[in-house]
Homo-oligomer: A and B are copies of this chain.
């Protein structure tokens, strides 16, 4: 994931001739530059040449780390899902805690991760390019993450059409973060907690149950 860089690296400086002005590895520089250019200028409008320049690398060096633009985008999208999937599989296995606490903790973690990124990578999920073969891993991870949401949601409320409500829950997390990003000055933690409270409301929990789940989730997160 991209980190703030105070001093932009000079263009075309070969990595071998000196230490980086930032603390990022060249590979991470490429990802940070791509995240910025893909979200600010657009994916189709960004060339690997522009990415290399922004990252302070030669274009040939970029191809040492990635096979091309698609490979970079897939890596960025995977980075938005895989930490949440790992967390989700952890809470799924943690049957010593209630479904409510586990859903609260997962939604808070996932929304905080999505909101906390320097750039809105979630906006890239719906690019037509993401239907391609290189994105199969990203789509599979996001599908697995959705399945964990579905298991926890259904444990709380199995009425109606659980598959459709699971889609709406994932939409609340992803879409809610996207809209919340449009207003500045918010803390990732605040947004994560608000999304988690809303996720439990969506699962049909009453205020008292949400307060209990929230308190239990705090213990679960520090465990």
A residues near B, CB below 8 A? 39-45, 120, 122-123, 126-129, 146, 160-161, 163-165, 167-168, 170-180, 182-183, 186, 190-191, 194-195, 197-198, 201-202, 204, 206-207
Closest B residue, CB atoms, query A127:
B42
Please indicate the chain B residues that have their CB under 8 angstroms from the CB of A174 in the complex: 171, 175, 178-179
| CB-based contact A161/B44 at 8 Å | no
Q: Name the 3 nearest CB pairs between A and B, nearest first.
A: A175-B175, A171-B176, A44-B44
| CB-based contact B42/A164 at 8 Å | no
Q: Oligomeric state, in number of copies?
A: 2
Q: Closest CB of chain B to A74's CB: distance in Å?
A: 16
Closest B residue, CB atoms, query A168:
B176
Query: Which of B177, B191, B201 has a CB less than 8 Å from the CB of A201?
Result: B201
| CB-based contact A129/B42 at 8 Å | yes
Given A120-B126, A172-B171, A164 and B186 contact (CB-CB distance below 8 Å):
yes
Most buried by B among A146, A178, A186: A178
| CB-based contact B194/A161 at 8 Å | yes
Please indicate the chain B residues that have their CB under 8 angstroms from the CB of A206 in the complex: 206
Most buried by B among A127, A129, A165, A179: A179
Please name 24 pairs of A and B residues whose Cβ atoms are closer than 8 Å in the assembled complex, sorted by A: A40-B128, A42-B129, A44-B45, A122-B126, A126-B126, A126-B178, A160-B194, A164-B186, A164-B190, A164-B191, A165-B198, A167-B176, A167-B182, A168-B172, A168-B198, A170-B175, A171-B172, A171-B180, A172-B172, A172-B198, A172-B202, A175-B175, A175-B178, A206-B206
